[in-house]
Amino acid sequence: MISNNATHQAATPSEGVTVKVKPANGSQESLFVGLCIGAILLIAAGALLFFLPAPPAPALLAGDIASSQLSNGQKALLTELNTAAQDIQMWRQGEERWPSASELAQEWIAPFNQDASWRSRGGHQWQHLSRGDQQWYWSWPTVESTQSLAVTSMLLQVSPQGEWRVWFAKSQPYSTLSAMEQALIYAASTPDVTAQLKAAGWLRVINEDHRAH
Amino acid sequence: MLIKVCFFLIAVFYASFGQASENKKLNIGIALHPYYSYVANIVGDKANIIPLVDHGFNPHAYQPQPNDMLRLQKMDAIVVNGIGHDDFAMKVIASSAREDLIVINANQDVPLLAAMGASVGQGAKNPHTFVGLSTSIQKVYTIARALAEIDPDNQAYYLGNARQFAKQMRAIKRQAMAELVQLDTRHIKVATTHNAYNYLLQEFGIEVATVIEPAHGVEPSASQLKTTIDNINQSHINVLFYELDMPNRFVDTIEQATGVQLYRFSHMTHGPYEKDKVVQEMKQNVSTLVEAIKFAERQAKS
């Protein structure tokens, strides 16, 4: 039963009620999906930029060789020389003098000690040279190597500031042991020792940084 | 009465002093077994060592847990492998937002060998530097120098202990070399299941001809296994090294198909965390290697 209080407002012909009805064609949903796709692409692009590989290491100088370019046998030799350099520095800190090559051999510090691997590498004879504040431990092969090391001589340059440098010679730069010693003495006395050694055929080994982060 | 009060005060003083000394000790974390041994040899009782994860986990498949984060919060520094064998630890460190945590990358001074395997990515490195004598010495030196910077009061102690560890490693090699003095390592042709032994083998002038696992921790498929068996037969490989304490289902198949002699190496990653684990198990590994070289020599002469 309709209440007597109910009122009805009838639209007159001069007044219109306009109701906009959006077409049910999915345009709103399409816009929403498009915006989501755009946002995902933007985030992905940003993440790609964030995870870009590190820039390549600076090019090596002439006469340098990166540790990553060494063969497995050469890397094993490099590890021994690196640890020997640290032993030499700790020795100096404790004894307040630099050790001789024979003292290092007596402590069985590779590659100075004479064992089966020493012989197969070339039976290197080691000498110690002190010039200025630099210490030079250098080697001369005495037998033919049975390993395919392609390293005839080695040079370990140690400074009192805690730094060291490893040098490899792939072919023998000198004809005799004494010639090598004289050349080394001369090189160590020049202002640019590095250039002198490189000119004589020595390769300076560059340890590459491979930190995880 | 006065004497009792004095004793009480003295006891309180020493208790406080002991507590203060205890508080000054560094808390050093480790992620993998061998690194516990390295750090323990260096620090002795001058620092506390906190393993990130309890022993018994598989580092190849471990997923970080909330408890790992709790342990990390107690650490002043953490020693990591950092080259692929403790990625789970790197995730925990990255998630911790601990800007003050000192991360000691034990392998930063080690010339790394390339990974071997049919499916390894270009540039992949062999992370098993802990299965090596010289590489272990280098890592202990790196860790000791880093700890000496953090704790300079104990610098001489840490570096001295590092040298003692090096002496033990060198003594192991010296003993082995004494047994090999008349032998020629060129007779031995080696295959390994796991790309883990090159650091040790290189020190004895031995190259690895074949690695059976196509990638780190991945078993070979049937076709890959057949290819490996063919390679072993064609290359006259006489020795196969595989991992102690790990199931290797395909090793028996290879042995039956090729007649290759099997030897096992420890990765020093099983059992409780112990100070002497690396020295003891490395000694055993080198003894195994010497035995393998002698076998290859006998086979060459027969």
Handedness of CA B179, B184, B188, B194 (dihedral sign): positive
Mean pLDDT to the nearest integer, A151-172: 90
How far from the centroid of its chain's Cα atoms is residue A71's Cα? 16
Cα dist from B130 to B32, B38, B268, whole Å? 10, 10, 8
Distance, in Å, from the CA atom of B65 to the CA atom of B84, rounded to the nearest integer, reads 19
CA distance B8 to chain A (A): 43
pLDDT, tens only, B263-276: 999 989 888 999 99
Specify whether the CB–CB gap between A110 and A78 falls below 8 A. no
Specify whether the CB–CB gap between B218 and B248 falls below 8 A. no
Position A27 scores a pLDDT of 87
- Given a cut of 70, whether residue B291 has pLDDT beyond it is yes
Nearest to B141 by CA among B89, B94, B106: B106
- Given a cut of 60, whether residue A85 has pLDDT beyond it is yes
Percent of chain B whose predicted confidence (pLDDT) is above 70: 90
- Given a cut of 60, whether residue A132 has pLDDT beyond it is yes
- Given a cut of 50, whether residue B14 has pLDDT beyond it is no
CA distance B295 to chain A (A): 17
**Minimum Cα–Cα distance from B106: chain A residue:** A211
Handedness of CA B203, B209, B212, B216 (dihedral sign): positive
Q: Which residues of B touch A80 (CB under 8 A)?
A: 134
Q: How many Å from the N-terminal Cα to the C-terminal Cα in chain A?
A: 83
Strands B77-80 and A64-66: unpaired
Q: What are phi and psi of A68, to 5 degrees?
A: -70, -20
Specify whether the CB–CB gap between B274 and B37 falls below 8 A. yes
Percent of chain B whose predicted confidence (pLDDT) is above 90: 55
Contact check, Cβ <8 Å, A109/B204: no
Q: How confident is the model at residue B261 (pLDDT cuts 50, 70, 90)?
A: very high
Nearest to A142 by CA among A117, A170, A177, A180: A177
Cβ-Cβ contacts under 8 Å for A181 (sequence gap 6 or more): A127, A129, A138
- Helix B249-258, helix B222-235: angle, nearest 10: 40
CA distance A208 to chain B (A): 8
Nearest to B81 by CA among B40, B45, B131, B43: B131
- Given a cut of 70, whether residue B221 has pLDDT beyond it is yes
Handedness of CA A87, A88, A92, A95 (dihedral sign): positive
Cβ-Cβ contacts under 8 Å between A and B: the total is 92
Q: Which residue has the higher pLDDT, B247 or B200?
A: B200
Tokens of A62: 């002439």
Tokens of B296: 């290859």
Q: What are phi and psi of A159, to 5 degrees?
A: -110, 155
Specify whether the CB–CB gap between B30 and B79 falls below 8 A. yes
Q: How confident is the model at residue B286 (pLDDT cuts 50, 70, 90)?
A: very high
- Given a cut of 70, whether residue A57 has pLDDT beyond it is no
pLDDT, tens only, B151-198: 999 999 999 999 999 999 999 999 999 998 888 777 788 999 888 899
Contact check, Cβ <8 Å, A115/B177: yes
Q: Which residues of A touch B112 (CB under 8 A)?
A: 68, 75, 210
Distance, in Å, from the CA atom of A186 to the CA atom of A167, rounded to the nearest integer, reads 17
Q: Which residues of B touch A211 (CB under 8 A)?
A: 82, 105, 108
Contact check, Cβ <8 Å, A83/B134: yes
Distance, in Å, from the CA atom of A119 to the CA atom of A143, rounded to the nearest integer, reads 7
Q: Which residues of A touch B180 (CB under 8 A)?
A: 116
**Minimum Cα–Cα distance from A209: chain B residue:** B108
CA distance B205 to chain A (A): 7
Q: Which helix (H) or strand (E) holds B71?
A: helix B66-72
Q: Return the DSSP state at A115.
A: S
Tokens of A58: 């600076």
Identity of the residue in B170, B177, B202 whose CB atom sits nearest the CB atom of A73: B202
The residues that bridge with A175 in the sheet, in sequence order, are none
Quote the pTM value. 0.83
Position B60 scores a pLDDT of 75
- Helix B277-301, helix B155-180: angle, nearest 10: 20
Nearest to A65 by CA among A210, A198, A211: A198
Highest mean pLDDT among A138-142, B131-135, B241-245: B131-135
Tokens of B128: 């098993």
Specify whether the CB–CB gap between B127 and B85 falls below 8 A. yes
Specify whether the CB–CB gap between A158 and A89 falls below 8 A. yes
Q: Which helix (H) or strand (E) holds A129?
A: strand A125-131
Q: DSSP string covering A139-158, please?
A: EE--S--SS-----EEEEEE
Exposure pattern of A12-35 as b/e (b: 16+ CB <10 Å)? eeeeeeeeeeeeeeeeeeeeeeee
**Minimum Cα–Cα distance from A67: chain B residue:** B111
Substitution target in B145, B177, B204 with the highest count of A β-carbons within 10 Å is B177
Contact check, Cβ <8 Å, B174/A113: yes
Specify whether the CB–CB gap between A110 and A77 falls below 8 A. no
Contact check, Cβ <8 Å, B111/A78: yes
Percent of chain A whose predicted confidence (pLDDT) is above 70: 86
Q: Which residue has the higher pLDDT, A54 or B243?
A: B243
Cα Rg, chain A, nearest whole Å: 38
Instruction: Give residue ranges of A with CB < 8 Å to any B CB.
Output: 67-68, 70, 72-73, 75-76, 78-80, 82-83, 86-87, 90, 93, 107-110, 113, 115-117, 120-121, 146-147, 207, 209-213
